[in-house]
Amino acid sequence: MANPARNLKSRNPSLDEIDQALIGLLSDNARLSHAELARSVGLSPPSVAERLRRLEEDGVVSAYTVELDPKALGYTLTAIVRIRPLPGQLHHVEKLLIESPEVIECDKVTGDDCFVARYLLRSIDELDPILERIAQRAQTSTSIVKASPVKRRLPPVP
C-alpha cells in the first residue's frame, strides 16, 4: 500500500541547493556519471546515488532521456494542429492521435478545441494525408511552426 506521507511529500518536494544543482547538471547532460556529479557538487558518488534515488522515489526525477534533432532525421516541418472532434467522436479521435507516429506531443485542452497536437513532417506533402485520417471524425485548424523561441524546458526548480 502506498505511503500517504510519501505521496504528500512528493507533491511538495523540498529541494536543497545540492538537489537543485544535481537536477541542473542532469538537465544539461543526463549521461553524467555519479562520480562526475559528485565532483561537481562536492559529495561522494554513493551520496549522489542516494540523493538521486530519493529524487526518483519522490517523483521529482521521473526519467533520464535523450533529445533528438528532428532535422537530422529528415523532419523539416512542425505543424501544430488544433482538433475539435465531431459529436460522439472524442474517444475515436484520441485513439487516432495516440496511434499516429507523426504526433510527437498532444494535449487534451479546454476551450473550443479538445486537442492540440504537434506533428513532425518531412515535407508539406505529408500534411494532407495525415489530416485526412481524422477529417471524418474532427475539424482541424493547422499552423506551421516558423521558429521556436522557447524550446521545451524544465519547470523552475524551487
Q: Other CB atoms closer than 10 Å to residue 112's CB: what's the count?
A: 9
Q: Where in the chain is the domain with CATH 1.10.10.10?
A: 16-67
Q: Which of 89, 144, 154, 156 lies closest to 118 in space, CA to CA?
A: 144
Q: Which amino acid makes up residue 16?
A: D
Angle at 118 between CA 129 and CA 133, to 5 degrees: 25
The per-residue pLDDT for 9 is 41
Sign of CA pseudo-dihedral 123, 124, 125, 130:
positive
In CATH, the architecture of 70-144 is: 2-Layer Sandwich (3.30)
Which residues share a beta bridge with 106? 117
pTM for the whole structure: 0.78
Q: Where in the chain is the domain with CATH 3.30.70.920?
A: 70-144
Question: Do 107 and 60 form a contact (C-beta atoms < 8 A)?
Answer: no
The per-residue pLDDT for 8 is 35
Q: Which of 80, 118, 81, 125 lies closest to 102 in space, CA to CA?
A: 118
Give, in words, the CATH class of 16-67.
mainly alpha
- Tens digits of pLDDT across the chain (158 residues): 343 333 334 444 579 999 999 999 999 899 999 999 999 999 999 999 999 999 999 999 999 988 899 999 999 999 999 999 999 999 999 999 999 999 999 999 999 999 999 999 999 999 999 999 999 999 999 999 999 999 888 888 87
